[in-house]
Amino acid sequence: MNKSEYQRIVNHNSKVLNKLLKKRSTDLSNIIFSENIKGNQVSFDTATSKAYDVLGCCSIGAIPTLAKSGADGYIWVDDEDTLHELEVKVCGIRHDNIYAGPKGGLYWSSNPSLYHNRASIKSRLQGSFDINMTEATLQTKSRLTSLICFDQTENTVIDAWIMCPTSTAEQLGNRKNNKTMTLKLSCFEKHGSPIKPTVNYVGWDNWFNDRLNDARQAERFICGR
């Protein structure tokens, strides 16, 4: 696939995803996959099983794949003028689980009265990986990895970040002895970089300030221990 064909598919998928998000539709029939096949050319279960990959890839100008294993999609890297494998992680959050912290931060909680049932917003927004993956499988995770933060209440993309293959492998390797293996938004901020979405999105600072104001006005506060 050359750059012009890639850009044609990206432009098409971005328009399709914008319409789907606006209508709150899950119709993937018009999405083009890397195999140059549309969603309406495969079985219903095949198309719907790729829903998160479609949302993640098409949000940042990547092309999702129908492959059942390996990369979730492919993204063009201008510096190398070629396609690269991409792993995408989509993490959604609802407004009614967001609370203002005692020092001005934002927290997630499903029961704010319980101290251990809370997390800072940048810890809650994360990409999860299989903690039981073999060492060989872990090595295959050395690819570009993106985190797309999604507002489930507004049905819209908040913002996105991407991490290079070396940093992804290093950060996952540092967590292989943990009880869970996650890469949090704070990790993407530290070891990765923002990537501008190719669909309508809010932007992190705008979203954070709006949610903080909403939480304060609704008097949803996280109390200190």
Q: DSSP string of 73-102?
A: EEEEETTTTEEEEEEEEEEEE-GGGEEE-T
Rounded to two decimals, the pTM is 0.93
- Give per-residue pLDDT as tens, 125-153: 999 998 888 888 888 888 999 999 999 99
Query: In what helix (H) or strand (E) does residue 208 lie, and over which residues does it extend?
Result: helix 204-217
Residue 56 DSSP label: H
Report how far residue 59's alpha carbon sits from residue 10's, in angstroms, rounded to the nearest whole number.
Answer: 9
CA distances from 150 to 56, 81, 156, 159 (A): 9, 29, 6, 7
Q: What is the pLDDT of residue 224?
A: 60
Per-residue model confidence (pLDDT) at position 140: 83
| pLDDT one-digit tens code per residue, 6-20 | 999 999 999 999 999
pLDDT-based confidence at residue 74 (cuts at 50, 70, 90): very high
Q: How many contiguous H segments (helices) and E segments (strands) does the chain have? A: 8, 11
Ranked by mean pLDDT, the top range of 68-77, 79-88, 148-157 is 148-157
Q: What residue type is assigned to position 163 of the chain?
A: M
Question: Within a 10 A sphere around the Cβ of 14, how many other Cβ atoms?
Answer: 18
